[in-house]
């Protein structure tokens, strides 16, 4: 079985998991998708679905914020904040307004909504989900490193970071 990280690289070369060539039509049907947060394995949510999820978070008493990044490495869980988290909201429209403004400013970035729960005296993430993706998601490469004592280390390299920050998804 081919890993998610290898899939994107094989796809670029037109190979399947066994190394055999694919037809162009079957290759175009598959896409690499970043899977961070809730709902990542589902198709993209519509604005109406996003608004319902936001309203659910507000009904739980959670504060909400919008975050964005052009470096979605799996260990990069703290993205840039779009404004400050919003507390004591009753309606989802305020967050939707901020989300639309963030999409307009960063159309080629990943954007997520983060809900924080403070019921135990500290702000912890209760829910986060991606609400916007760049048109083309380049994926990751698994890099192998040999270390002392015949041990092997693996690390992930995001193809997006091959370009400078701010220009990672332009012209694609």
Residue 155 forms part of a structural domain: no
Within a domain: 20: yes
DSSP-based three-state secondary structure for 150: helix
Together in a domain, 57 and 26:
no
Same domain, 14 and 62: no
Q: What is the pLDDT of residue 31?
A: 53
> What pLDDT digit, counting tens, does each position of 136-157 carry?
777 777 788 888 888 888 887 7
Range of the domain at 2: 1-30
Q: What is the pLDDT of residues 76-121, one digit of tens each?
A: 778 999 988 888 888 899 999 999 999 999 998 899 999 999 888 8
Residue 142's contacts (CB-CB under 8 Å, 6 or more residues apart) are 3, 5, 6, 154, 155, 156, 157
Q: Say what the pTM is.
A: 0.68
Task: Give the tokens for residue 45.
Answer: 């949510």
Judgement on whether residues 79 and 8 belong to the same structural domain of the protein: no
* Shared domain check, 85 and 21: no
What are the two backbone dihedrals, phi and then psi, of residue 141, each rounded to the nearest 5 degrees?
-120, 140
Check whether residue 18 and residue 58 sit in a common domain. Answer: no
**Residue 57 and residue 123 in one domain:** yes
pLDDT of 84 reads 85
């Amino acid at each position: 079985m081919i890993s998610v990280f290898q899939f994107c690289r094989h796809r670029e070369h037109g190979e399947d998991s066994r190394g055999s060539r694919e037809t162009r039509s079957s290759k175009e049907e598959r896409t690499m998708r970043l899977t961070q947060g809730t709902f990542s394995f589902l198709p993209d949510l519509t604005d109406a679905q996003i608004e319902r999820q936001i309203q659910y978070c507000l009904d739980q008493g959670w504060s909400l914020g919008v975050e964005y990044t052009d470096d979605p490495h799996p260990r990069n869980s703290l993205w840039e904040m779009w404004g400050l988290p919003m507390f004591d909201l009753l309606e989802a429209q305020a967050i939707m307004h901020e989300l639309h403004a963030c999409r307009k400013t960063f159309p080629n970035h990943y954007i997520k909504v983060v809900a924080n729960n403070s019921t135990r005296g500290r702000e912890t993430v209760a829910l986060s989900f991606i609400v916007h993706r760049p048109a083309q998601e380049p994926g990751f490469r698994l890099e192998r490193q040999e270390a002392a004592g015949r041990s092997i280390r693996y690390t992930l390299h995001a193809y997006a970071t091959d370009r400078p920050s701010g220009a990672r998804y332009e012209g694609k």
